Every structure is written in structure tokens, then in C-alpha cells.
Amino acid sequence: MSLVTPGIGLIFWMTLVFIVLLIILKKFAWKPILKSLKEREDKITTSLSMAKQTQEEMKQIKADNEVLLKEARGEREKILKGADEIKNQIISEAKSSAQNEADKIIENARKSIDNEKKMAIDDLKKQVAEYSLQIAEMLLNREMLDSQKEKDFLNEQVDKLHFN
């Protein structure tokens, strides 16, 4: 059992070396270790506060973006309504212009048709008059051999005619 139980001298020297090691560590190592731990803690605290601040800024930016998006949608709606109004106005003006042109064309066509009709009627009257004269001349030549009969017939026909 002597292997398991240490001697007093060994315990003394181990304790002395441990205490000296603690003193050396306290003097040279604990302060830098604690300082670096404190710096790390400060960095973590700073990073957390910056993360919270960044998160708040992101929320604000998101809210601002939503407001801007709503404004942009409103502007888009206004522009689309304006474009619809302009489109309807242009269509209305085009329809009105086309209707006016169609009315003018129809009126001109009616005038042209009336003129053509009058000309055709006048031409027809002239032809009928010419044919009537030719027929009358042929009849008179055939029936009127006597000049007295001819004069009486002409006077009778002139009395019947009413000039308009």
C-alpha cells in the first residue's frame, strides 16, 4: 500500500509548487485571462445591442418601405385612371370625328344623288319632249294635208297646254 499513499515530503513539495503556481498564475495569467474575458463579454454585449438596434432599424425600414409601396400603388392607380380617361377621351374624339366625316360624306352623296337625279329627270324630259315633237310632227304630216285643218288643230292644242 505504500504505492497508493504518498509521503509527507511529496505532499509538502506538491502543495508548495501548487501555491507558487497559483501565485504566478494570479500575477501573470489571471489578469490577462480575466481582461480578455471582460473584453469578450463587452464585445458580445455591444454586438447584441447593435443587433437589436439593427433589428429596430430594419423594422423601421420595412415600415417605411410599406408606406412607400402604398404611395407607389396609389400613384400607379392615379396614373392608370388618368390613362383610362385619356384613352376614353381619345376614343370619344375619334368617334365624334368619324361620325362628322361620315355625316359629311353622306350629305355630299345625297347632294350628288339629287343632282344626278335632277340631271337625269331633265335629260329624260328633253328626250320625251323631242320624241313627242317627232311623233307629233309625223302625225301632223300624215293627217293634216289641209292647211286650215292644221291651223285649227294647232290653235286647239295650244289652248289646251298650260305652261308651268
Question: Looking at the 3D structure of the chain, how many domains does it have?
Answer: 1
Q: Which residue has the cell 502543495?
A: 15
142 within some domain: yes
Burial zone of 153 (CB within 10 Å; 0-12 exposed, 13-18 middle, 19+ buried): middle
Q: What is the mean pLDDT of the chain?
A: 86
Residue 109: what pLDDT? Answer: 93
Domain contains 90: yes
Query: Within a domain: residue 19?
Result: yes
Q: What is the pLDDT of residues 110-144, one digit of tens each?
A: 999 999 999 999 888 888 888 888 777 777 666 65
| Residue 3, in any domain of the structure | no
- Is residue 163 situated within a structural domain? no
Contact assessment for residue 150 and residue 140, using Cβ atoms and an 8 Å cutoff: yes
pLDDT tens-digit readout, 3-28: 667 778 888 999 999 999 989 888 88
* Domain that residue 151 falls in: 8-156
Burial 120-141, CB ≥16 within 10 A → b, else e: eeeeeeeeeeeeeeeeeeeeee
Does the residue 78 lie in any domain?
yes
Residue pair 144/153 in contact (Cβ under 8 Å)? The answer is yes
